[in-house]
Amino acid sequence: MHTQPNVLQVDNLNIAAKSSRGALPLVRNVNLELKPGKVLGLIGESGSGKTVTSMALMQLLSQRSMHVQGSIQLHGQELNGLPAQAMRNIRGKDIGFIMQNPMNAFTPVYTIGNQFVETIRTHTGLGKKQAVELAIASLESMNLEEPAKLMKKYPFQLSGGMLQRVMIAISMSLRPAVVIADEPTTALDVTNQLQVLNELDRLRTECGTAILLISHDLGVISQLADEVAVMRHGEIVEQAEVCELFDRPQHEYTKNLLQARPMLSGNEALNRLVI
Amino acid sequence: MTLLEVKDITHSYGASRSFWRKQDVKPVLSGISLSIEEGTCLGLLGSSGAGKSTLGKVILGLEKPQKGQVIFQGQDVYAMDAKSRQQMRRNLQVVFQDSYSSVNPRLTAEKIIAEPLENYEKLSAGEQNRAIASLLEQVGLSSSDMKKYPREFSGGQLQRINIARALALKPKMIVLDESVSSLDMVTQTTILDLLQDLKKMHGLSYLFITHDIRAAYSISDAMAIMHKGQIAEVFHNKDEVFTSQQPAVKSLVDSMLPEHPRYRNAAAPTEAKKLFSR
């Protein structure tokens, strides 16, 4: 296990917003390692810098308003400071991204199929017919019914849960080495939530994708993560194996976070029942 | 004493006929009956599209149902004169999910909370100011926040302001439509605790609409599960939710996420899939 090379390695990541009062630090000294087939959970309350970190990994922060310092290496290739064109080739192909709100992630005026095929053809040399086949196969693997019909639909015709699964299908269709899932299930209801998490779990076992799972929901983290990093005020205050973190939280903030969960009133019998 | 009674509500959308074709009418609510006792909280659960929010709107008097009655404090909400309606609005308040879209971005916190007071109570400037300050303190903010605008608050803080506004007229009941769903866990728990304290302090009743069993369980006295526009089951003893064999209830319970990584939910929700596939 220890010999596995890291897919994504982040060293000393510092992010600051440029403002009239000088640089405003948002994220300080963040170090992360993603291993193939493993899920790293990133938790923290709103405003702690989780999303800004993920945006930096994708190089989506505007250089005009943000300073991004440090090293972000994908398979040993430095991403920070890479020209925009080169980064565009990596985004979507090598790093997949699943966003919180599926309704905003699609263009409303094109069909699902149109957007799916566009993504595939941008990154591969596939012909239109092959791309359609790949899209349908990916949708099928997401347990979406009647994928061929789905391809002709517009985003607003699907429910949030279905659209989120379509987004995962798109980001997984090119078998990226890394997927960044930023609150992938927050907008979904409980039944869809578990289904989406199970799909992510299946994909990382089958394709060996490394997943960075960002969430404030400890239920989501306990369901999927192997390792957890706790973020607060732009810094990682604690990082540990998931069971270890839940059983023996070290940092005061992590303890508070774990206590903040609405528990089923500590009723052990009920807990077992639910489990 | 029964505060609110919902009798056999049936409602549907898309009933208007277009010139080109007869639109199919989709029933959103069919034959819903519920009641809420004074000083208790009813958790209304269901997956998305079950009709929870529509029922909330019907109860608030915002969406006239095609059939059925809503009785609040012994009076039919849709058959009352203007004066009783005004009284009803005072006693029945609401807090929605999206805190930012529930407030006017151009008003300060003070003005936002003052609005119901100005409409219903004739207070002097000093009294009103004191009332607002005490409301802000009740929800865990300070009177120094009065002059701030919505954009200066975080989502959790703004939700507290929405709660303060709902409390301003000392209502009998508050409809909480996914009021804590978009907040992070720490904020969620503090707001749930706050709601529970306020309930005890003022003898409030809540209709707590959510899809999160855990949150509903922690605050409710009774729970009702909705599925496809109908009440699947009502639990007066909320612990029975976890042992119910009703398929809609079971699928919600089965898809709960674990509290600890040791208890991962390995079961593929096949039941759920069957139930919710269209």
Q: Six-digit token pair at B65?
A: 């149902």
Phi and psi for B5 in degrees, rounded to 5?
-130, 130
Q: Which residues of chain B have pLDDT under 50?
A: 268-278
CB A35 within 8 A of CB A6: yes
Which pLDDT value is given to residue A238? 93
Which pLDDT value is given to residue B102? 92
CA distance B203 to B200: 5
Option in B47, B189, B257 nearest A222 (CB)? B257
Q: What is the sign, positive or negative, of the torsion defined by CA atoms of B212, B213, B214, B220? A: positive
The number of beta carbons lying within 10 Å of the beta carbon of residue A31 is 14
CA of B90 vs chain A CAs: smallest distance (Å) = 31
Q: Hey, are the CB atoms on B255 and A143 less than 8 Å from each other?
A: no
According to DSSP, the residues that pair with B176 across neighbouring strands are B95, B208
Which pLDDT value is given to residue A270? 47
CA of B170 vs chain A CAs: smallest distance (Å) = 27
CA of A123 vs chain B CAs: smallest distance (Å) = 33
B217: chain A residues, CB-CB within 8 Å: 262, 264-265
Interface check for B185 against chain A (CB to CB < 8 A): the answer is yes
pLDDT digits (tens, 9 = 90+) for A147-177: 999 999 999 888 777 888 899 899 888 889 9
A-B Cβ pairs (cutoff 8 Å, strict): 128
CB B70 within 8 A of CB B6: yes
Q: Hey, are the CB atoms on A219 and B256 less than 8 Å from each other?
A: yes
Q: Residue A92 carries which side chain, given as an amino acid letter?
A: G
The 3-class SS string of A33-78 reads EECCCCEEEEECCCCCCHHHHHHHHCCCCCCCCEEEEEEEEECCEE
Identify from B211, B255, B274 which residue to disrupt to test chain A contact, counting A C-beta atoms within 10 A and taking the largest count: B255
Which pLDDT value is given to residue B19? 64
Which pLDDT value is given to residue A273? 45
Cα dist from B227 to A177, B53, B221, B234, whole Å: 40, 12, 20, 12
Which residues 89-148 of chain B have a CB within 8 Å of chain A?
Answer: none
Which pLDDT value is given to residue B180? 86
CB B257 within 8 A of CB A220: yes
CA distance A263 to A266: 6
B195: chain A residues, CB-CB within 8 Å: none
B201 Cβ neighbours under 8 A, 6+ residues apart: none
Q: Which residues of chain A have pLDDT under 50?
A: 1, 265-275
CB B257 within 8 A of CB A194: yes
Interface check for B49 against chain A (CB to CB < 8 A): the answer is yes
Which pLDDT value is given to residue B22? 61
Q: Are strands B222-227 and B41-45 parallel, antiparallel or unpaired?
A: parallel
Cα dist from B117 to A108, A127, B127, B168, whole Å: 42, 66, 11, 7
Interface check for B244 against chain A (CB to CB < 8 A): the answer is no
A192: chain B residues, CB-CB within 8 Å: 47-48
CA of A226 vs chain B CAs: smallest distance (Å) = 9
Q: Hey, are the CB atoms on B259 and A190 less than 8 Å from each other?
A: no
CA distance A214 to A44: 9
CA of B120 vs chain A CAs: smallest distance (Å) = 36
Say whether B9 sits in a helix, a strand or coil.
strand
Which pLDDT value is given to residue B271? 42
Identify from A193, A202, A213, A274 which residue to disrupt to test chain B contact, counting B C-beta atoms within 10 A and taking the largest count: A274
Residue of A nearest to B216 (CA): A262
First-to-last C-alpha distance (Å) of chain A:
30
First-to-last C-alpha distance (Å) of chain B:
41
A217: chain B residues, CB-CB within 8 Å: 185, 257
